[in-house]
Amino acid sequence: MNDATSPAIQSWKVTLPCTRAEAEALDGDIAAFAMMDRPPVLMTSEAEPDDEDAWRLDAYFEGKPSPAAIKLLRSMVPSAARIKPVVEALPDEDWVTISQQGLEPVTAGRFHVRNLASDPEQPGQVNLLIAASRAFGTGQHETTAGCLAMLDRMRRVGMRFGNVADIGTGTGLLAFAALHLWPRAYATASDIDPVAVEISAENALANGMTVGRGQGQVALYAAAGVDHAAIITRAPYDLLIANILAGPLIELAPSLCAMVEEGGTILLAGLLNEQVDSVLAAYRAQGMRLAERADRGDWPTLRLRKRPVIGWKRPRRLNPAARGEAPGFGSI
């Protein structure tokens, strides 16, 4: 996401016809697009009410799509190989919100995440309302759903946490979920994008969460990584969540691990299967060990624990000089 002072980026849409089978194959996250700085949002829909096999693919881009991106889209719908795609600049609208309106609710573990207030709540579930918006983290992405499922499983096996941090929070969803599971915890949520922090505050209000610094409240900060005095002061955390991207996860490994107490837990997501070894190597070098891995498609969620440091000089808090800054990285 751009920060609030950056000039607006023109939005574009690429449209291609496709078959129903091709549309169903696109129902999820496309690994090839995950490496892009601004991956497109893909939407499929029925094109002809009387022809159940006539579908269309709409891909929404921030900025004009490159020839390589269009070529990749075309490769996903072979039936349209001889058809020229429609490439058009969009009016100055919130295209992410428009593209996500009407998404189906997502259930992960005990959590049921709705994008529209008109969607019914699920009895017996923790119902959360995260409207489609300019920030990532509505629950639709496999990484967010994977984190929700992992948090639920951790609670079910009896894990307890009292000081939680969600770095790269996006919409605030994972911080809210953690507070539902451990309601007496202190929660800190941050994002490099000030707009995401504003949206998280709005979502907190919509879900009956209190923004503040006390127990059972979520404290919100705009920061690159953990580069904020309040985030450092509130350390060490016994649970830290980072659902961002593999590159930032690797770069931030020293500062994120320094924020976690001995025996504490880090939840990592936003990486692809082929990036797991590189990410794990960075965290093992900081004294972390892999405790659990759960995959949703191409997207793994990793639960790590910090090994105790034996000896009388065991570090207890983060060195104030370790700022943990990773400029240019935000939440996935």
Q: Are 117 and 129 in contact (CB under 8 A)?
A: yes
* C-beta of residue 38 within 8 angstroms of C-beta of residue 193: no
Q: Is 115 annotated as a binding residue?
A: no
Joined together, the tokens standing for residue 12 give: 């574009």
**Amino acid letter for position 253:** A
Closest CA to 24 of 69, 55, 68: 55
With both helix axes pointing from N to C terminus, report the angle between 276-284 and 246-258 in degrees, rounded to the nearest 10: 20
d(CA 29, CA 230): 35
Q: Residues with Cβ < 8 Å from 123, sequence gap 6 or more?
A: none
Nearest to 249 by CA among 266, 261, 231: 266
Query: Among positive and negative, which fits the CA dihedral 174, 180, 181, 184?
Result: positive
Q: In the structure, how many helices (H) and strands (E) does the chain have?
A: 10, 15
CA distance 54 to 66: 26
Instruction: Return d(Cα 177, Cα 164) in angstroms, integer.
Output: 11
Q: What amino acid occupies position 312?
A: W
Q: Which residues contact 92 (CB under 8 A, 6 or more apart)?
A: 8, 11
Q: Tell whether 243 is in a known binding site.
A: yes
Known binder of ligand: residue 144?
yes
- Report the alpha-carbon distance of residue 206 to residue 216 in Å, rounded: 16
DSSP class of residue 193 equals -
Angle among Cα 280, 307, 158 to the nearest 5 degrees reads: 95
Sequence ranges of the binding site: 144, 168, 191, 243
Sequence ranges of the binding site for S-adenosyl-L-methionine: 144, 168, 191, 243
